Amino acid sequence: MSKNEEKIPGKGIQFCPSCAHPLNDPKSILNEYWISEDTAYFCWCKNCSWKGDIIKTTRMVAPELV
């Protein structure tokens, strides 16, 4: 990822995870914020009214499922 790509807020989040409607719609909400070292996005889709946080993670540790 280049330095220019890092400066564009919400670049990785483009579509609603529920209905795939573009979040660049002026009536939808896409707000970037930070939790410690993680980048998080609050999203609200005007098309389906889905709302939630999407958090980009760099590493995930999970138990092994048997």
Residue 1's pLDDT is: 44
Judge whether 12 lies within some domain.
no
Count of structural domains within the chain: 1
The Cα–Cα gap between 16 and 23 comes to 6
Q: Would 6 be classed as within a structural domain?
A: no
Torsion of CA 39, 50, 26, 58, to 10 degrees: 20
Query: In this structure, is residue 51 part of a structural domain?
Result: yes
Q: 11-56 pLDDT, tens per residue?
A: 678 899 999 999 888 899 999 998 888 889 999 999 999 999 998 8
Range of the domain at 43: 23-57
Higher pLDDT, 3 or 60: 60
